[in-house]
Structure formats: C-alpha cells, structure tokens
Structure 1
Amino acid sequence: MGVQGASCWLRLRELAPSLADAERRVATFVVRHARRVPELSITDLAERCGASEATVVRLCKRLGLRGYQELRIRLSAELATEQPQIVGEVRRGDGLEEACRKLFASMGAALQETLRVLDRAALERVVEQVASARRVDLYGVGASGVVALDAALKLLRVGVQAQAFTDPHLQATSAALLGQRDVAIGVSHSGSTKDTVEALRVARASGAFTVAVTQVGPSPITRVADAVLNTVAREPLLREAALGSRVAAMAVLDSVFAGVLLRRYAPARRALERTREALVGRKY
C-alpha cells in the first residue's frame, strides 16, 4: 500500500501546499471541483487556473500519470465508485441528525482511506521495534497529545514501558535521554508541529528509532522519522476539532498495539490480566 495506493484526489490535496504557485492553483481547483474536472479539456482547466497547459501536464506527471487524460479517467473512476473523499461537510443550518450522519461518514471515510494508504512494511517494522524496545516515548500536543496518551496507556497495559509527553519541555527532556534500544513516536497530523518535530529530531540524534504518525505527503516530521505511518482525514470546516485526523491516528496506533500484542502474546496477556486485577477495585 502506502502513498502510491492513495487516490489521485487525496494525493493532490496533500501535495498542494508544497507546490509552486501555478501547480498549486491547478491542484487546488481539481480538489475543490473534482466532479467538474473530467468534463474540462486541458485548455479549459489551464485557463480557469491561470496556468499553462504545460503546468497541468507537469502536475499530472508528478502524480505518476502519463498526462491530463489519465487524470480525468482516474477522477471519473473515483467518483463513480464513490470514493470516501466525497463526504458532505457539516454546514450552518444542518440539523443534528444530518450533522451526525456527515460526521460519522467522515470518520468512516478517514478510517477506510487511512487503511488504503497505510504502509504495511513500515507498520511491521514499527511493531518489531516497539515489541523489543527498552522504552517507548510518544510525543504530541493538542488533539495529537490525546492520541499519544491513549496509545501509551494501551502499550503499558501489555507490558511495554511506554509514556506520553504533551509538554514541550518534557518532550525535549525525554528525547535527550533516549538511546539505541528505545523508540520515539511523534504524532502530528500536519507534520509541522514544531515541538513534536524537534522532540523527534533530538530522539533520533540520541540513537532512538523514530516514528511519525502524520498525514500523507512530505513534511518536517517525515524528515526526522525512520518510519512513517500515514493517516488521512478530510475536515476543512471542523479542522480545529481534529475529528477525523484524531480517529485515523488512533486507529494506526491501535494497529501497532495489536501487532505488539500478537508478537508477544503470552506475556502481553499476562500483563493485561495483572493490570486488570490491579484496577478492578477502582470500579463500582
């Protein structure tokens, strides 16, 4: 799987911010008007974007396509099979029932598309490293910090010495003290959260195996990671709430947890039972 398994629409959306002006205008138009693009000639598209036909072709080549005609075909196929990216946004005036339907559809789409792009080889490598690590430290802030805390708790329950850090100073301290037998996992949907990226950079310099859980496409965090686990989420009007991205990142780290559980099943089951017994008296 991996990034190359992602839809053209998704790859364009994730590439757009890093493109030069003319290519970015074309990519943005295609993302926003995916249903109209298959009906437009290359000349029409170029004119609407204030770009040249050569720019359109260059963007298609960047996606690994032969040209604009193949892009039109791919988009038509994605629309015909109702790819999960075509999910309605929650808008002012929606009733609660409609908002719930759209949110659940968006989260389901995030999970399906994340599964589609998830690099299985990278996942296996991360599971192997985490299962044998002396220590696993996770970094994240905001909603990504919640994801890191959730993953650390689950790993701890199966006997992995895991801890999550959401404070930048503690992240830096943790990263500086890691070594070659340790794993550092940075969670950042944008891939540009300075504190998380810096913590992962320091952890890598300290000798730790570093993992980035982030959206598809190049970003600062992918440059300091030994392994990248990509997520997909579309939430333009509710981006601040980080709904889809949080669910997708949790699913990816739950997959790591499942892999670790399977790899060290007997001791993990014993650890789960012991922690369950330790907590049973804390419930009514």
Structure 2
Amino acid sequence: MATGGLRIIHALLPQLPASEKKIAEYILAQPEAVMDYTAGELGSLAGASGAAVIRLCKSLGVKGFQDLKVRIAGDLSTKVEQGYRDITPHDTIQSIVKKTTINSVQSISDTSELLQHEEIERAVSALSKARTIHFFGVGASHIIAMDAQQKFLRVNKGATAFTDVHIVATLIANAGADDVVVGISFSGETSEVINILSLAKKRGLTTISLTKQGLSSVSALTDISLHTSYTREAPFRSAATSSRLAQLYVIDTLFLAMASTKYDETVGYIDRTREAIQFLKDKQK
C-alpha cells in the first residue's frame, strides 16, 4: 500500500499558499476523517474550496486527491515513522552510531514512499536510449553526479560529470538529440543547475531533475522530475548527510532498473570492467 501522505504534508506545510495550508492543517489534525470526504467537502470544511484541494495535491506532488487519500490510509495503517535525530553536545559514540543509522534508514524509507513509479519508468526509458548522459550538480550534489557517472560508465553508457559550468555548457551546445541532461540539486534552487537545464531545454534535449520533494525552479524546468524526501534539516544534517543518501538511493534505483531491462548485456559489461580493474591490480603487484 502506498504511504507517505502525512509525511509529505508535514514537510511542505511551511511552503504552501494560505488556502492550501488551511486544508493541509485540517488533514493533519483529522487524518482519519479525511478518508470519507470528497475534495469539495474537504475544501469547505477547511474554509477553502475543492479547487484548493486539487491545487494542494499538485503542490504535494501526488497524482490527485484519491492518491493522497490512499497514501494517508497507508500511513494510518502502518504508523512506523521514527523521525530524525540530530546529534547533541558530548553524544557518546554509541548514541551517534544509533542516530546516524536511524537518520539514514528514515531518509531512504521516506524517499521510497515519494518516488512515483511512472516517473522512474520514464527516466529509465530516457537513460536507456541516451547516447550520453550529462550529470550535473554543485557541491555535495556533484558527489552524486560522479557516483552516477561511474555506475553508468561501467555498463558502456556514455556519461559525464564535470563541475566547470563552461565545460558543461560546451558539452550541451554540441550534444546530440538523444543526449540526456540530469540536474541534481537538493534545494531545487541552485543557480548553476538552473542555468544548465535552461540551456539544455533551449537545445531541445531531454532533461531529468533530482531535487527534494515539492515545487522548485529546477524541477519546473525538466521533462522528468524525481524527488527525495524533504526534512527541515537540523544543523548537522544540513551538511547533506541524510539527503545525500537519499539521492544515492535514487541513482541506484535508476541504474538497477535500467540494468534489468538489458540484464545479460549489462552483466557482460560489468564482468569486463571487473576484469580490467583486476588486470590493473595484478600489474601493481
């Protein structure tokens, strides 16, 4: 059963317009009752309108009011949310190990609930057909881009992950029609990523974004939008710890989904790359 409806609302509540926020707060206060309402009834009870309910669903990134209700029903039946833990002064090693584990598992679990399978399928289709995939991110997101490049190169898929914006712009200027540009930005507002995706869009290239849940300048630019969970980061998590793991999780999902469509061919490529690396190791002995 789909879940994550209440978690998405909690995360995006501060960003919502006033009319949508009224509805979101009503849902959080009485999630069980919402199951019995139509969009019009919910809007009226929350002091808004049915149209505002539909807009809220769009802001939350769900398919519609029925999808939101299914996710909320899933939340109510499971009730497994642990929440995030931030470190405190003089934490013991045991405490830090436990908190890090909880945060890592929670981030991946939250993201798995947000991923829309249709968007994953569209992304996998685009990546499979691409001649070259240009991954681009700045700062911590560049680490994700490099990880993606390494994975896709191993299965004989052309991939780049440069940090220099001018080099990336040059690549896009000369890109073929079947190239794909993947912009990675947790905030969804990184100016360099916005500019690169704008250039890619101008060139008519297929674009994919990987951002936190919710509307953003980056996701608005792309043909395919993928999201990780969004939490109001505590001081140490703002250093891209849990968010980085969620991004790596999405990249792994894309890579494995693409590999499964060409399983035998992919295994052959991986075997050859493994043999090449072993050859280098043997030469160093």
Q: TM-score range by the shorter chain?
A: 0.7 to 0.9
Tell me the equivalent position of 1:45. none
Instruction: Tell me the alpha carbon deviations over residues 178-200 of structure 1, each in whole angstroms, 9 at most, x when there is no partner.
Output: 23211111111111111012111
Tell me the equivalent position of 1:274. 272
Q: How many residues align?
A: 256
Task: Give the superposition deviation at 1:282.
Answer: 3.1
Instruction: Tell me the alpha carbon deviations over residues 142-180 of structure 1, each in whole angstroms, 9 at most, x when there is no partner.
Output: 111000100110000001011112222222222222232
User: Which of 182, 185, 190 is equivalent to 1:185?
Assistant: 182
1:244 partnered with 2:242: yes
Instruction: Tell me the alpha carbon deviations over residues 179-229 of structure 1, each in whole angstroms, 9 at most, x when there is no partner.
Output: 321111111111111101211121122121100011111000111111111
Task: Give the superposition deviation at 1:89.
Answer: 2.3
Sequence identity, in percent? Answer: 29
Question: Are residues 251 and 82 of structure 1, via their aligned partners in 2, closer, same or farther at CA, if it must alter by over 3 Å?
Answer: same
Equivalent position amino acid for 2:129 in 1: S
What is the distance in 2 between the residues matched to 1:164 and 1:143?
A: 13
Tell me the equivalent position of 1:223. 220
Question: Are residues 180 and 157 of structure 1, via their aligned partners in 2, closer, same or farther at CA, if it must alter by over 3 Å?
Answer: same
Equivalent position amino acid for 1:185 in 2: V
Instruction: Tell me the alpha carbon deviations over residues 66-106 of structure 1, each in whole angstroms, 9 at most, x when there is no partner.
Output: 9xxx9xxx69x958844436233222242221122111111
Tell me the equivalent position of 2:253. 255
Tell me the equivalent position of 2:114. 117
Tell me the equivalent position of 2:43. none
What is the distance in 2 between the residues matched to 1:26 and 1:131?
A: 40
Question: Are residues 21 and 233 of structure 1, via their aligned partners in 2, closer, same or farther at CA, if it must alter by over 3 Å?
Answer: closer
Task: Give the superposition deviation at 1:131.
Answer: 1.1
Question: Are residues 79 and 96 of structure 1, via their aligned partners in 2, closer, same or farther at CA, if it must alter by over 3 Å?
Answer: farther
SS in structure 1 at match of 2:156: coil
CA contact (8 A) 2:3 2:75 kept: no
1:207 partnered with 2:204: yes
What is the distance in 1 between the residues matched to 2:205 and 2:65?
A: 37
Tell me the equivalent position of 2:89. 92
Equivalent position amino acid for 2:132 in 1: R
Tell me the equivalent position of 1:169. 166
Equivalent position amino acid for 1:248 in 2: A
User: Which of 2, 8, 11 is equivalent to 1:10?
Assistant: 8
Alignment root-mean-square deviation, CA: 3.3
1:232 partnered with 2:229: yes
Question: Are residues 157 and 144 of structure 1, via their aligned partners in 2, closer, same or farther at CA, if it must alter by over 3 Å?
Answer: same
SS in structure 1 at match of 2:150: helix
TM-score by length of 1: 0.77
What is the distance in 2 between the residues matched to 1:58 and 1:87?
A: 34
Question: Are residues 125 and 79 of structure 1, via their aligned partners in 2, closer, same or farther at CA, if it must alter by over 3 Å?
Answer: closer
CA contact (8 A) 2:180 2:207 kept: yes
What is the distance in 2 between the residues matched to 1:122 and 1:265?
A: 21
What is the distance in 2 between the residues matched to 1:163 and 1:269?
A: 22
What is the distance in 1 between the residues matched to 2:144 and 2:200?
A: 19
CA contact (8 A) 2:213 2:230 kept: no
Give the gaps of 5 or more residues in structure 2: 31-45, 58-63
Equivalent position amino acid for 2:121 in 1: E
CA contact (8 A) 1:123 1:256 kept: yes
What is the distance in 1 between the residues matched to 2:51 and 2:132?
A: 45
CA contact (8 A) 1:118 1:231 kept: yes
TM-score by length of 2: 0.77
